[in-house]
Amino acid sequence: MRTSIATVSLSGSLTEKLTAASRAGFDGVEIFENDLLASPLTPEEIRARCADLGLTIDLYQPMRDIEAVPEDEFARNLRRARHKFELMDRLGADTVLVCSSVSPLAVDDDALAAEQLGRLADLAQDFGIRVAYEALAWGRHVSTYDHAWHIVETAGHPALGTCLDSFHILSRGSDPKAIEDIPGEKIFFLQLADAPLLAMDVLQWSRHYRCFPGQGGFDVAGLVRSVLHTGYDGPLSLEIFNDVFRQAEAGPTAVDARRSLLVLQETVGIAAPPASVAPTGIAFAELVTPDAEPLSAVLGALGFARTARHRSKPVDLWQQGEARLLVNTGTAVRRDGTGLAAIGLESPDPGAAARRAEALLAPVLPRRRAPEDAQLDAVLAPDGTELFFCATDRPELPNWRADFENLAQAPAPGHAARIDHLALTQPWHHFDEAALFHRSVLGLHAQESVDVADPYGLLRSRAVTTDDGSVRIALTVGAAPTDDTVHAQHIALATDDVVAAARRFAEAGGRLLPIPANYYDDLAARYEFADGELETYRELGILYDRDAHGEFRHCYTPTIGRVFFELVQRDGGYRGYGAQNAPVRLAAQHAARRLTGG
């Protein structure tokens, strides 16, 4: 189906918004009136610009407070509407959105509303324009889609139809099933938006917290299925009011928007991009650093051994069990110190995984490589992390490991068996995009978002994972663009005995993050431990948590640049990440940073 986006969904000038929509692959746009009023371009120039970009103008919106008002007021409304229709004729738009009235002058009279909307449609028809009547969730007298449809049906005018908006329908808890009783030709337009499930005033919810389909808690796909059942053949259009999107760069936001519609069309069965190929494990994590010495010291103390070196690049492979870390000291290193730059994901079909990613608009990375280097497919995640699709143990496929020459040192028999999870910090305006990206492009399952208190703000975190937990990624973002807490990334290493791993690390010269004594006093009040167990945790800085499935013990190294390591022990099927302990960990990291001047 054709796709469209309202210009209010993107930041920037109208010209910037149109360019971003076109480059993202949208077929059309809804022109939001404020964007037109603020533009230096004439309606004719906007029309020509859209044509040059391959965009149709699918809707002009909104026209407010029209119906069910005293006759003198309605006469003024018709005068206003005539001017809008003349403008739309110059613009080349043939459908106008009319929102249900919120005017204090409006009366609760469906017959009057139908009669006046019919007269409005008469005037619109003279200009070749259709009127799409939409129920605002906070409308004064008309606030549900079935009520709006009743008025349209009563008017019985060929130029009057209804506009369905998923936010206005789903935010009220309305059942979209009855949409199937509306003739498809009378649904003039379909606007789509998702939203997190919040308990707040619906107007503020709508104006600030909408998001793209698949990023919130609404069953947008179910609503779309009901609309398609009517025979509706218009565009799927996004109308998103979101404070973050209004400040973010228009280009990436438009790509995220289009990806959400591609996934939505796949979900409802009207598009078939390449099938999802879920990863089966983490092949490696790549760290880039301007100074390998501090990082090497920590890795050595953790039990890693430097086992191989890349044939043509300054990249070393450090390994312990199935945990593999690449340390890159090349010239293109991070300015802000050591950071996590790339992840190798084990895939049952790397080529198919890459085709899926490309079809869902993930940037495919060109690679500068020597002729003998393995040709790995890679894409870029929203936060800039490079994602490689790997087949480490399949000789018939390109193997990244073949690019490395073994050194004399063998993998150490340390306590870390594998990478348990990775924590990736997101740019403040890409958190929802990242969740959708990892779910749709990589085939991971998104868990519920959680808020974590930090001494200097608030963090949001959301884990994406495979069913079996072989791949776990925690996506984290701070509350504001200037929030320093967004800078920490970390690699969690799984161990069967975190106490032994922590002791070995300390004996090898490593230093664990100190945890305040008050934490352990509280832990003693909440749980019962075996004799000496809590004292051991206090001595080593080990934190403890449990859920309905099992127990979790973990501890942290200090931060190097933008990265720290975590040792984790999961027992009995524990599914979380120690979120209850995160505020204590964050406070300890802030204290350590102050001590070191970092």
Q: Is the pLDDT of residue 540 over 70?
A: yes
Give residue 484's pLDDT.
Answer: 47
Average pLDDT (259-267) is: 97
> Residue 105, Cα to own-chain centre: how many angstroms?
41
| φ, ψ dihedrals at 194, nearest 5° | -105, 175
Distance in angstroms (rounded) separating the CA atoms of residues 72 and 105: 11
Share of the chain above pLDDT 70, in %: 95
Give the sign of the dihedral formed by CA 79, CA 83, CA 86, CA 91: negative
Number of residues that this document lists for the chain: 598
Average pLDDT (114-120) is: 98
Distance in angstroms (rounded) separating the CA atoms of residues 286 and 318: 10
Amino acid sitting at position 276: S
Which residues lie closer than 8 Å to 148 by C-beta, 6 or more apart?
A: 100, 133, 134, 135, 142, 162
Q: Is the pLDDT of residue 347 over 80?
A: yes
Average pLDDT (537-553) is: 97
Which residues lie closer than 8 Å to 9 by C-beta, 6 or more apart?
A: 238, 239, 240, 241, 242, 245, 253, 257
- Enter the tokens of residue 453: 């208190």
Cβ(152)–Cβ(188) below 8 Å: no
Average pLDDT (516-530) is: 95
Give residue 473's pLDDT.
Answer: 97
Cβ(176)–Cβ(187) below 8 Å: no
Average pLDDT (177-189) is: 98
Distance in angstroms (rounded) separating the CA atoms of residues 558 and 123: 70
List, for residues 302-333, the tens digit of each pLDDT value: 999 999 999 989 999 999 999 999 999 986 55
Q: Which of 22-26, 94-98, 390-394, 532-536 has the lowest mean pLDDT?
A: 390-394
Give residue 197's pLDDT.
Answer: 87
Distance in angstroms (rounded) separating the CA atoms of residues 116 and 124: 12
Give residue 482's pLDDT.
Answer: 54
Q: Is 334 helix (H, G, I), strand (E, B) or coil?
A: coil
> Residue 12, Cα to own-chain centre: how many angstroms?
21
List, for residues 356-369, the tens digit of each pLDDT value: 999 999 998 876 55
Give residue 435's pLDDT.
Answer: 92
Band the pLDDT of 485: cuts 50, 70, 90.
very low
Residue 83, Cβ neighbours under 10 Å: how many?
9
Cβ(556)–Cβ(519) below 8 Å: no
Higher confidence at residue 377 or residue 12? Answer: 12
CB-based burial, 562-574: b 16+ in 10 Å, e otherwise:
bbbbbbbbbeeeb
Q: Which of 108-117, 204-213, 247-256 has the highest mean pLDDT?
A: 108-117
Average pLDDT (236-262) is: 93
Which residues lie closer than 8 Å to 128 by C-beta, 6 or more apart?
A: 89, 94
Q: Which residues pair with 380 in a beta bridge?
A: 386
User: Which domains does the chain carry?
Assistant: 3-268 (3.20.20.150), 281-406 (3.10.180.10), 416-596 (3.10.180.10)
Average pLDDT (33-57) is: 97
Band the pLDDT of 594: cuts 50, 70, 90.
confident
Render 228-280 in DSSP notation, one character per residue.
Answer: HHTT--S-EEE---BHHHHHS-HHHHHHHHHHHHHHHHHHHTS--PSPP----
Cβ(517)–Cβ(588) below 8 Å: no
Average pLDDT (391-407) is: 87
Cβ(383)–Cβ(340) below 8 Å: no
Give residue 486's pLDDT.
Answer: 47
Q: Is the pLDDT of residue 165 over 60?
A: yes
Q: Which of 56-65, 427-436, 439-448, 570-579 has the lowest mean pLDDT?
A: 427-436
Distance in angstroms (rounded) separating the CA atoms of residues 441 and 438: 6
Distance in angstroms (rounded) separating the CA atoms of residues 322 and 209: 42
Q: Which of 475, 385, 378, 483 is nearest to 436 (CA)?
A: 475
Give residue 370's pLDDT.
Answer: 60
What do you get for the CA distance between the two ends of the chain, in Å? 52
Q: Is the pLDDT of residue 21 over 60?
A: yes
Residue 424, Cβ neighbours under 10 Å: how many?
21
Q: Is the pLDDT of residue 502 over 70?
A: yes
Give residue 449's pLDDT.
Answer: 85
Higher confidence at residue 370 or residue 207? Answer: 207
